Structure 1
Amino acid sequence: MDEWIEIGRVDTIPRRGARCVNTPNGKIAVFRTQDDQIFAIDNRCPHRGGPLSEGIVHGASVTCPMHNWVFDLSTGQAQGADEGEVRSYAVNVVDGRIFITPDLMMVAAE
Structure 2
Amino acid sequence: MNNPRVLGPVEQIPFGEGRAFGIDGEQVAVFRLRDGTLRALSAVCPHKGGPIADGTIDQSVVMCPLHQNSFELDTGCSTTGGKPLRTYKVFADESRNIVLIS
Name the structure 2 match of 1:69: 69
Per-residue CA distance 1:11-39 (angstroms, 9 max, x = gap): 11011111111022321111111111101
> Does the aligned pair in 1 maintain the 2:47–2:82 contact within 8 Å?
no
Asked which structure has the greater CA Rg, the reply is 1
Structure 2: any 5+ residue segments left out of the alignment?
A: none
Q: Tell me whether 1:42 sits opposite 2:21 in the alignment.
A: no
TM score, norm. by length of structure 1: 0.82
Write the mapping of 1:2-81 to structure 2, written as runs, cut at 5 A: 4-79=4-79, 81=80
Report the Cα distance in structure 2 between the residues aligned to 1:97 and 1:61, rounded to whole angstroms: 23
CA distance in 1, matches of 2:74, 2:25: 20
Identity of aligned pairs, percent? 30
SS at match of 2:53: helix
Contact 2:32 2:38 in 1 (8 A): yes
Separation in structure 2 between the aligned mates of residue 17 and residue 42 of structure 1, nearest angstrom? 15
TM-score (norm 2): 0.88
User: Following TM superposition, by how much is the alpha carbon of 1:8 offset from its aligned partner in structure 2, in angstroms?
Assistant: 1.3
Give, in whole Å, the separation in 2 of the partners of 1:43 and 1:62: 11
Aligned residues: 99
8 Å contact kept, 2:69–2:82: no
Separation in 1, partners of 2:51, 2:65: 7
| Runs (4+) off by over 4 Å | none
Q: Which runs of structure 2 are paired with 1:83-94 in the superposition (5 Å)? A: 83-94=82-93
